[in-house]
Amino acid sequence: MIKWKGIRWSVHPLFVLIMIGSVATGYFAELFTLFLIVLVHEIGHVVVARSFDLTVREVKLLPFGGVAEIEDAGSIPAGQDALIAIAGPLQNVWMGLAAWGCGQLGLWDPEWAAYVWQANLIIGLFNLLPIYPLDGGKLMQSAFSYGFAYYPMMKWTSRISIVLSVIMIGYAVYTAFLPGDGLQLNLLVVGLFLFMTNWTYYRNIPYLFVRFLMHRDRVAVRSIAKGSLARPIIVNMKQPIIAVVRLLWREQYHLFYLMELEGRIVKVVPEQEVVDRYLSERDPNRAVIELFR
């Protein structure tokens, strides 16, 4: 692991094992090229994230791409998140076209040019699969931010990612029983990695949601600065506070209307007060009205 420009850059152990294997089998040049492709792919994410004045804490390189860890905790707009995600595959587009052009112009050996543009095509398309933390998974998450509150958005992202990871694993094993084919070991390893990543993500959603709540003040500052309208949320005053905070949307600032079953509004509370009470409350199942009498 090295630190450059304030960012920790590391190579995943899986990539290291493949590199060792490439040296033993005489494919080091191909793998080194793959390493450079993945590196440029991740630099695309970093450049766009930095253009939005976001802090990139770590970039971890994997055989099929990488993971750029950005310090946002769900506080940056979904549109910016989507632009950061798509920046990686866009690097594969220009690199692939450049390699193809070099082959057509005779600047590169045709076989080598084909290898480079095909590697870019595979890495770019693979990263667009809707599986978190691939770029396609992050794009899916950004899209879900416009249709779900933040908590269910995380739930659906992880569920879909787990299902697709299982399908990937199942297909890799299935090929082992086909005549003339063998076990798709690379696909199996990647599928297992994505499954474990999303299973861990799913189990950590309650903790990730608390981190999201702790950064909600950023959304309030942006909304006030732009003069945005607050999004009203009407809740039964007897609902537990944990259920109430899970109604928060990623980019919206809210006013909570605590209402009786008869339809009378008892109290209007800004979201920051609800969040602060939740974070300081020992019993998350207490009725919200008990905290605002």
Q: What pLDDT band is residue 178 in, cutting at 50, 70 and 90? A: confident
| pLDDT at residue 58 is higher than 70 | yes
User: Which strand ranges, in their side-by-side order, compose the sheet holding 2-4?
Assistant: 2-4, 7-11, 56-62, 65-70
In this prediction the pTM is 0.88
Average pLDDT over residues 142-171: 95
The percent of residues above 70 in pLDDT, for the chain, comes to 91
Average pLDDT over residues 135-161: 95
**Positive/negative CA dihedral, 43, 45, 49, 55:** negative
Q: What element of type H or E holds 259?
A: strand 254-259
Give the model confidence (pLDDT) of 113-134 as tens digits: 999 999 999 999 999 999 998 9
- Each domain of the chain, given as residue ranges in start order, spans 1-147, 148-214, 228-291
| 179/171 Cα distance (integer angstroms) | 14
Give the model confidence (pLDDT) of 201-254 as tens digits: 999 999 999 999 988 887 777 777 777 788 899 988 889 999 999 999 988 888
| pLDDT at residue 97 is higher than 80 | yes
| 88/41 Cα distance (integer angstroms) | 5
| pLDDT at residue 65 is higher than 70 | no
Q: What pLDDT band is residue 62 in, cutting at 50, 70 and 90? A: confident
pLDDT of residue 63: 63
Average pLDDT over residues 162-188: 84
The percent of residues above 90 in pLDDT, for the chain, comes to 44
- Contacts with 246 (C-beta within 8 Å, 6 or more apart), sequence order: 149, 150, 151, 152, 209
Q: What pLDDT band is residue 144 in, cutting at 50, 70 and 90? A: very high
Average pLDDT over residues 71-84: 83
Average pLDDT over residues 266-277: 89
Angle 113-33-133 from CA coordinates, rounded to 5°: 110
Q: Tell me the CA distances in angstroms from 134 to 13, 118, 131, one per residue in order.
A: 18, 19, 6
Q: Which residues lie across from 94 on neighbouring strands?
A: none
| 199/144 Cα distance (integer angstroms) | 19
Q: What pLDDT band is residue 199 in, cutting at 50, 70 and 90? A: very high
User: Which position has the higher pLDDT, 261 or 158?
Assistant: 158
Q: To the nearest whole number, what is the mean pLDDT of the chain?
A: 86
Q: Does the bond joining 133 to the residue before it have cis omega, within 30 degrees of 0?
A: yes
| Residue 162 burial class via C-beta count within 10 angstroms: exposed 0-12, middle 13-18, buried 19 and up | buried
pLDDT of residue 118: 93
Q: What pLDDT band is residue 177 in, cutting at 50, 70 and 90? A: confident
- Under CATH, what is the fold of the domain 228-291? CBS-domain (3.10.580)
Q: Looking at 4-18, 110-124, 192-206, 276-290, which range is the least confident one? A: 4-18
φ and ψ of 107, to 5 deg:
-75, -30
